[in-house]
Amino acid sequence: MVLPCDRHGVRGCRFHVERGRVKVNQSLIPAARPIIGDEEREAVDRVLRSGMVAQGPEVKAFEAEFGEQLVGGRECVAVNSGTAGLHLGLLACGIGPGDEVIVPSFTFAATGNSVALTGATPVFADIEPDHFCLDPRSVRESVTERTRAIMPVHLYGHPAAMAELRAIADEHDLLLFEDAAQAHGARLDGAPVGTFGDFAMFSLYPTKNMTSGEGGMVSCGSPEVARQLRLLRNQGMEVQYANEIVGFNARMTDLHAAIGRVQLTKVGGWTDQRRANAAVLDAGLADVDGVTTPPVKDGATHVYHQYTIRVAEDRDRVVQALREEHGVGSGVYYPIPNHRLPSLERYAPGLDLPRTEEAARQVISLPVHPSLTEGDLERVVEGVRATVRAGA
């Protein structure tokens, strides 16, 4: 059904024809949308007017507030990116050349990169299919004499199987870390993510559940790890010009911390909205043949950094049709497993991770962010229903 549209002088219709194809007259619903408002602008202005913009009192306050609100009072150290948080966290825990760290391959490359940057070897394990997180059985099979640590990712905002991974770590005397880049506020069996590991990293990149512009927050399992991180962040100095170890400049600025502090007051409400949006998508897509909606494990609180479905067939066609015919943006996280990337494949010659590869072929992340309207959600549901049916 093709109606005349406002391009032809009639307002309010949804379609027009362009070069023989039906196009939708509506703006694209973006896959992600950072929310930055007046309060963030005023906070930055306040820091600018103070004349002191580098790491200072705002960073200190941000660390304390983040620790209180999100990780049960654990000591937190702010850095200038999530990737720096992983890299420095690994170094602070003594990871280096000769060590192996077991990580998922189905994640953003920063997970494996940070291990490789320490000189250690990332060892890629497979995922369990329901929640896309590390499969403890695959982790167990990957342990060798050189294994020093396990670093699961709470992918898409769903907590990894921390109890099972803790048991493996204890059994083999391994450290346990958390890549919580996508999981601010997620919980498992009553405890927030970021409280299970020897360290945990939260990313503050703009598309994450909260942002500071760029940045990372590391939650520390002990005062020693926190102290090492503070040294590594600042050229190895606690006392100025008395450099104790070789370190980086990975400091967060007070400008970024000021934004992060405002976002911290809002992230709880945004998470509630993400969860409510996910419930609408769950209900709307439950009965669609060829679509698997994301299940949540008993005892887990999912914070839906992404709402990720699986489609049985021809994922790329679905992504394209959603965008072009329904005005629905979506994302594919991640199309190439880390162990197949040119940058990381040398760590995993010949490795076969069937569940990871299947997920990489099937996943689509639909918009779930807190600024979606009811109409947007309806359009997402309608779009998926029509597209998957049309291809069936």
Return the closest-CA partner of residue 133 out of 88, 90, 165. 165
Residues 106-125 within binding reach of ligand PLP (CB under 6 A): 107-108, 110-111
Q: How many residues does the chain have?
A: 392
Q: Could you tell me the smallest distance in angstroms from the CB atom of residue 208 to ligand PLP?
A: 6
49 CB contacts (<8 Å, ≥6 apart)?
A: none
Return the closest-CA partner of residue 124 out of 150, 96, 99, 104. 104
Determine the Cα–Cα distance for residues 235 and 231; give it in Å rounded to an integer: 6
Q: Could you tell me the smallest distance in angstroms from the CB atom of residue 233 to ligand PLP?
A: 14
Determine the Cα–Cα distance for residues 389 and 316; give it in Å rounded to an integer: 15
CB nearer to ligand PLP: pick between 105 and 107? 107
Residue 182 CB neighbours (<10 A): 27
Determine the Cα–Cα distance for residues 183 and 153; give it in Å rounded to an integer: 9
- Choosing from 58, 79, 82, 339, the residue that interacts with ligand PLP (CB under 6 A) is 82
Q: Could you tell me the smallest distance in angstroms from the CB atom of residue 111 to ligand PLP?
A: 5
- Choosing from 55, 81, 142, 253, the residue that interacts with ligand PLP (CB under 6 A) is 81
Q: Which segment (81-89, 276-284, 292-300, 318-326) binds ligand PLP by CB under 6 A?
A: 81-89
182 CB contacts (<8 Å, ≥6 apart)?
A: 153, 154, 155, 156, 157, 203, 208, 209, 305, 306
Question: Do strands 21-24 and 216-220 pair parallel, antiparallel, or not at all (unpaired)?
Answer: unpaired
Residue whose CB is nearest to ligand PLP in the complex, by number: 82
CB nearer to ligand PLP: pick between 81 and 142? 81
CA distances (Å), 34 to each of 28, 159, 267, 270, 324, in order?
15, 22, 12, 11, 23
CB nearer to ligand PLP: pick between 203 and 301? 203
CB nearer to ligand PLP: pick between 88 and 384? 88
Residues 183-212 within binding reach of ligand PLP (CB under 6 A): 203, 205
Please report whether residue 83 would count as binding ligand PLP according to CB under 6 A.
Answer: yes
Write the interaction track for ligand PLP spanning residues 144-183; mark x where CB under 6 A is met and - where it is not. ---------x-------------------------x-xx-
**End-to-end Cα, the chain, rounded Å:** 20
Active site annotation includes 208: yes
Q: Could you tell me the smallest distance in angstroms from the CB atom of residue 21 to ligand PLP?
A: 35
DSSP 39-87: HHHHHHHHHHHHT--SSSHHHHHHHHHHHHHHSTT--EEEES-HHHHHH
Q: Which segment (102-110, 119-127, 134-142, 280-288) binds ligand PLP by CB under 6 A?
A: 102-110
CB nearer to ligand PLP: pick between 147 and 333? 333
CB nearer to ligand PLP: pick between 143 and 217? 217
Q: Which segment (77-85, 190-198, 343-351, 354-362) binds ligand PLP by CB under 6 A?
A: 77-85
256 CB contacts (<8 Å, ≥6 apart)?
A: 80, 204, 212, 213, 214, 215
Q: How many residues bind ligand PLP (CB under 6 A)?
A: 14
CB nearer to ligand PLP: pick between 201 and 278? 201
**Token digits for 88?**
């420095």
Catalytic annotation, residues: 208
User: Interface with ligand PLP by CB under 6 A: which residues?
Assistant: 81-83, 107-108, 110-111, 153, 179, 181-182, 203, 205, 216
